[in-house]
Structure 1
Amino acid sequence: MTGPAAAGTAPRKPYVTPYAEESLDLPLAFEWADGTPRLTYRDALPQERMFGTLWARCGTAREGKIQWHLVHTQRQRRCMLKRLCRVCGGPATDPDTGRVWWIVPASLAGDFRSPWPTAHPPTCKAHMAEALTACPYLRREAPIVCTVGDYSPVGVLANLYGEDDGGRVVETRHQIPVGLEESHLLHRALATQLIVRIEDLQPAQG
């Protein structure tokens, strides 16, 4: 989510950014469920499936080299579901208004009255300045600090898989958005990030 800190300062360890030691092998396989082939793990656990799809495994050690260009699947999803800050992992909801603090790329915001989807988690007020300074994606997108009245899950970013002629599981599409209503795609998807639809977007005052 962010890049390395300036020379002479210690880099922050942003909550949604993974570490090299958190990369895990993914023993993917297909199983039959209700007459349909469905992506799974050979040693799958019930909690690894949510919103009708399989989710990428990640470690939780937070050790090793920081992978600045990647997103930790479980922590990104947790931020979205629990309204947590992507920088510190603490609450991103304003205690006075109940609204959620969010950094919005101007190119995506458009009409503030229209809901729109995003895979970027909220950012608490205390870490707005840090995120705006450090995150290359936000710097490119002319960010706007906003608050959000509500939001809800609408899809996932995912890799799609199939089987080759030898029965081996192979990736067929990489990091595409899949709606939660697209069950024919969710069955063969490995979700990496949760997409939510933001409602009641307002520019922050002051």
Structure 2
Amino acid sequence: MSNPGAVAAASPSKPYLTPYSAEVIDLPLVFERVAGVPWLTYTDALPQDRMFGVLWARCGIGRGGKILWPMVHTLRQRRCMLKRLCRVCGQSAADPGEPDRTWWIIPSPPPGGLPATWPATSPPTCKACIAVALGACPHLRHGSPVVCTVGAYGPVGVLGNLYGEDNGRAVETQHQIGIGLDEPHLFRRALATQLIVQLNDLRPADVLVS
């Protein structure tokens, strides 16, 4: 696999989080038995295919071909979450004035204001890209988004698909469900596509957008 750590140049019209047609690759999924228990894996499995004990969907990199709106690039989504990178430009989303805090857009918080904690699959957005994200993302345009900063946060689960065996083939049985990191009994059948993090200490932020 190519190195997913390299940051490709991004622009408002080509957001970092969005995949491209040339980055779609085949997923040679199979089940193999470990101590008699079937585990979902790849025919050419590599150590980096797993994180948090879960198998992850592979993606190409290079950002070539047609932009696949509104899909999410699995490796870049995970990288944004783990490294506090902006979903639009791929650069740091930390607040320069308070480096321990991160800029985030909450698509549709519950009535009554921001909760103390919030589970998120959408990565942070740096302050400079907030206006772009609010104007370009259909999910944000049609909701009631709130701009905020968050304190510490960490992984709590994955969004992914569950698979079963059918005559030796790996067949999807459930699509895009939340799987907690405290649910290891599901890991052997799961293919993760996005990382879920728990945001803490959410504070509404006053930011000028236009």
Task: Give the structure 2 partner of residue 40 of structure 1.
Answer: 41
1:77/1:194 contact within 8 Å kept: yes
For structure 1, which runs of at least 5 residues remain unmatched after alignment? 1-9
SS across alignment from 2:130: helix
Structure 2 runs not aligned, ≥5 long: 1-10
1:135-174 aligned within 5 A: 135-164=137-166, 166-174=167-175
The count of corresponding residues between Structure 1 and Structure 2 is: 196
Q: Is 1:203 equivalent to 2:209 in the alignment?
A: no
SS at match of 1:187: helix
Amino acid at match of 1:160: L
Q: Give 1:86-125 correspondences, 5 Å limit.
A: 86-98=87-99, 99-108=101-110, 112-125=114-127
Could you tell me how far apart the structure 1 residues matched to 2:107 and 2:12 are? Answer: 24
Per the alignment, residue 17 of structure 1 pairs with 18
Return the TM-score normalized by structure 2: 0.89
C-alpha change, 1:65 and 1:127, in structure 2 (3 Å) is: same
Counterpart code for 1:197: Q
Closer, same or farther: CA 73–34 of 1 in aligned 2, 3 Å = same
Change in CA separation of 1:60 and 1:107 when aligned onto 2, cut-off 3 Å: same
- Paired AA for residue 94 in structure 1: D
Provide the aligned C-alpha RMSD in A.
Answer: 1.6
Give the whole-Å Cα distance in 2 for the aligned partners of 1:109 and 1:125.
Answer: 24
CA distance in 2, matches of 1:11, 1:203: 24
Cα distance in 2, alignment partners of residues 200 and 148 from structure 1: 5
